[in-house]
Chain A
Amino acid sequence: MKRNPFPLIVLALVLTFLYLPIIVLTANSFNLSRFGGTWEGFTLKWYLQLLNDSQVWLALCNSLLIATGATLASCLLGTTAALALHRWNTRLQTLHYGLIYTPLVVPEILMGISLLLTFTAVGMNCGLHTILLAHTTFCMSYVTMTVLARLQDFDDSLIEAARDLGANAWISFIKVQLPLLLPGIISGGLLAFTLSIDDFVITFFVAGPGSSTLPLKIYSMIKHSPKLPMINCLSTVTLTLTFLLVLASRTLQNLKQLKAHNGHKNGVST
């Protein structure tokens, strides 16, 4: 039977559209030409400029600080919200679910402007703290949803068993439920971190003096900065770090699986 070439063509096209821009960007970060239209030779000068640009690093620090803070806060709030939603099946919880679900579908621009109006109405000056609050607000919904998905497969009889064996509610939560939910919480947290670090629209509205994040900085550089190639360098660095992280986590996972597999085999043989 002849294989249909169509899926292969689609795959090639998708891969090209996904990765070609990234390859061009990486190549341009080493391009001597300021404008990237033509290849004028290899250089590392944009990387040096990037290293010396305190504004960009300051923005990166702000971004990391906010992303970390928002991730931790939204993991805590999101997990507790998911637990409440899972445990009680009341009308109040249906409303709660609706409220948590809304930020996922509300247009970002609406959320940004309404948050800014709220902050100014209560007389709050905008700054890092308002960005943190805003990011926690929308990240929380994502964590709740991932933890809730995990809870759906959760076997409640495990908790009953723990209680039967004498654990109180707190211990059974810490020792039994939390470890089982942890993968859900972590993946929700990772999602929250990613969303927070590249959010532009909401951040744009709620940012105040001295609290520019990396996306805000990059956006304002695109139109007017003579140092635009620095952005290519920054993206290349981020990309490399991300790939390394993914690679490391995959390797670790494989090692762990291998170990578990071996351990299991040994357990059987003895």
Chain B
Amino acid sequence: MNATRLFASLAIAAAALTGCGPKKPTLHLYTWSDYIDPELVTAFEQANNCRVKIDTFDSNETMYAKVQAGSGGYDIIFPSSYQISLLAQNGMLQPLDKSKLPNVTANFAESYKSVILNPEMTYNVPYAVTFTGIAYRKDKTGDTPIDSWTCLDSPAFKGRISLLNDFRETIGAALKSLGYSLNSTDPEELKKACDVVLRWKKNIAKFDNEQYKTGIASGEFVLGHGYNGDIAQVMLDDPENIGFAFPKEGFTAACDEMVIPKTAKEVALAHTFINFLYDPDNACKNIQYICALMPNTQAITKLPQAYRNNPAILPPPEVLSKAEVLKDLGKANALYSKIWDTIKATE
């Protein structure tokens, strides 16, 4: 009979959904896509007789919206620095037990403390540090040194430049080129920065966040304002022709960190996992997979030459002092978006 068959298949589907099999503890990660070496995850599962399930988000804001709406059950979340204070203020995080994280205490590279926003590390352990700089085609720039934001004004590269389509990054770059702070809220300084971006706008091809890597890889663009992780991938494919520069006036730095939310179920296992990721060998392996730097002293010394010499992965120590972290500006964000609208609307 048709109806009975329908009920039977429904029952089977329901059984499949509830899931059978032996009960192992499951660690739930909420992170960016492809942001952890799957081999490490498998190794962790075997070592701790557990399962690791990974869910992914595409921006801090989507992650925040979901977790705040009450979607609990994640054991470790990987937000960017600036989102952590917001999570902590709303009582959504639990303090970490440092005694369970000996690898973090032993290996965390103190020099990177300047690029995290919560250096006391009550709720957070840095996972990976990222920077914004200028990618360039060595074969097209020739002898021109690429080391400053002023290159964006160069008539030689007119129409061959892409800037990030992100108001904090691009207005921030303009602020830095004028010698101001990235997090400036002074209307005078912002007015001047606006003029700089408008000047750049006449010289560039477009504002772009996703496709600029393609443009740099194919040689369509000569200069590309971009994130180090994106550029590192392109550079590993074509180390001959592509370079990455940290502008001498200063640049933005950001850090993705690991936090344990209040609603986590496997708190002890989550600590074990964070500690596992700070093991020098594991961190070294992971850096090579994610193409972003984990601030782990021992792991950095273990990196193969190709990675250690790639400035887009390991910035030279002398430039680190020029990095400035983007802070959440609260109400002043409106000021930035107004300037950005002006920039976008001006021909």
Q: Which residues of A contact B (CB under 8 A)?
A: 33-38, 53-55, 65, 68-69, 72-73, 75-76, 113, 116-117, 120, 125-129, 132, 174, 178, 204-205, 207-212, 216-217, 219-227
Contact in complex: A227, B237 (CB < 8 Å) = no
Contact in complex: A210, B55 (CB < 8 Å) = yes
Contact in complex: A54, B17 (CB < 8 Å) = no
Contact in complex: A224, B17 (CB < 8 Å) = no
> Quick one: which of A53, A120, A132 contacts B70, CB cutoff 8 A?
A120
A129 to chain B: closest residue by CB = B17
Complex Cα gap A222–B62 (Å):
14
Q: A65-B17, A76-B6 are known contacts. Are A126 and B73 too (CB-CB below 8 A)?
A: yes
Interface residue SS majority, chain A: helix
Contact in complex: B10, A76 (CB < 8 Å) = yes
Contacts of A224 in B (CB 8 A): 32-35, 58
Complex Cα gap A217–B189 (Å):
41
Q: Which residues of B contact A (CB under 8 A)?
A: 1-3, 6, 9-10, 13-14, 16-18, 26, 28, 30, 32-35, 38, 53-59, 62, 66, 69-74, 210-211, 213-215, 217-218, 220, 233-234, 237, 291
Q: A35-B218, A55-B54, A225-B34 are in contact. List 19 more A-B contacts (CB 8 A).
A: A33-B218, A34-B217, A34-B233, A34-B234, A36-B214, A53-B38, A65-B16, A73-B10, A76-B6, A76-B10, A116-B71, A125-B72, A132-B17, A174-B3, A210-B26, A220-B58, A221-B33, A224-B35, A224-B58
Contact in complex: B10, A72 (CB < 8 Å) = yes
Contacts of B62 in A (CB 8 A): 204
Contact in complex: A35, B10 (CB < 8 Å) = no
> Quick one: which of A37, A129, A174 contacts B220, CB cutoff 8 A?
A37
Contacts of A174 in B (CB 8 A): 1-3
A130 to chain B: closest residue by CB = B71
Contact in complex: B56, A221 (CB < 8 Å) = yes
Complex Cα gap A45–B34 (Å):
17
> Quick one: which of A54, A65, A227 contacts B34, CB cutoff 8 A?
A227
Complex Cα gap A44–B237 (Å):
17
Contact in complex: A128, B70 (CB < 8 Å) = no
B209 to chain A: closest residue by CB = A223
Question: Nearest-CB distance from A225 to chain B (Å)?
Answer: 4
A120 to chain B: closest residue by CB = B70
Complex Cα gap A212–B233 (Å):
26
Contact in complex: A222, B6 (CB < 8 Å) = no
Complex Cα gap A123–B10 (Å):
25
Contact in complex: B210, A223 (CB < 8 Å) = yes
Q: A38-B218, A209-B73 are known contacts. Are A217 and B6 too (CB-CB below 8 A)?
A: no
